[in-house]
Amino acid sequence: MRKLSMDELNRKSVDQFKDSEKIPVVVILENVRSAYNVGSVFRTADAFLLESIYLCGYTAFPPHKEIRKTALGAEETVAWKHFKEIQEAIKELRNKGYRIFAVEQTEESIKLHEFKNVGKTAVIFGNEVSGVDQSTIALTDGCIEIPQLGMKHSLNIAVAAGVVLWDMVKNNLVK
């Protein structure tokens, strides 16, 4: 078995990426402390050809050295917006017809493997320590939970984003 060369991967140029039809998923980051985590989410959003990223509260936004380090250029391809208040981001997305879900463990959260995203969906990932604010959860259509079987019941935000977003992309690919 031979590893593919960079040329064989048929990667899109920045212009090709921007002109491509996107998966109708918007990532919302609420008060994410680590710019490295933000950069990782940019890279994941690029890999999965997602619509955009909304950066809310004190979440870092480009241009930023630490974002650039982990995004590896994805901050130049993925559309993004910054909002001081997450309520503004949610209002804008609702007006555009998006359903809004927080990735959080709640009394009524939907297990990721049982979640069916149909159409335009936004997913909120919260702070590395405190998660998605309760006041934000109250504004959503529900919560999605990643089932976890071990002692720890939390994942790094960049890992959680990769798991959830791949599941959403996979579901869009196999319609």
Task: Per residue of the chain (175 residues), give pLDDT as tens.
Answer: 999 988 898 888 888 888 999 999 999 999 999 999 999 999 999 999 999 999 999 999 999 999 999 999 999 999 999 999 999 999 999 999 999 999 999 999 999 999 987 789 999 999 999 999 999 999 999 999 999 999 888 899 999 999 999 999 987 665 4
Q: What is the pLDDT of residue 153?
A: 83
Q: For position 31, which CATH number holds? A: 3.40.1280.10
Q: Amino acid identity of 4? A: L
pTM: 0.94
Contact 114, 135 (CB under 8 A): no
In a domain, 12, yes or no: no
In a domain, 34, yes or no: yes
In a domain, 3, yes or no: no
Q: Can you read off the two tokens belonging to residue 37?
A: 């985590």
Domain of residue 73: give its range: 21-146+154-173
Under 8 Å CB-to-CB from 23, ≥6 apart: which residues? 48, 49, 50, 51, 168, 169, 172
In a domain, 16, yes or no: no
Q: Can you read off the two tokens belonging to residue 133?
A: 């604010």
Domain count, the chain: 1
In a domain, 4, yes or no: no
In a domain, 106, yes or no: yes
In a domain, 11, yes or no: no
In a domain, 13, yes or no: no
| Run of H or E including 122 | strand 121-125
Q: What is the pLDDT of residue 6?
A: 83
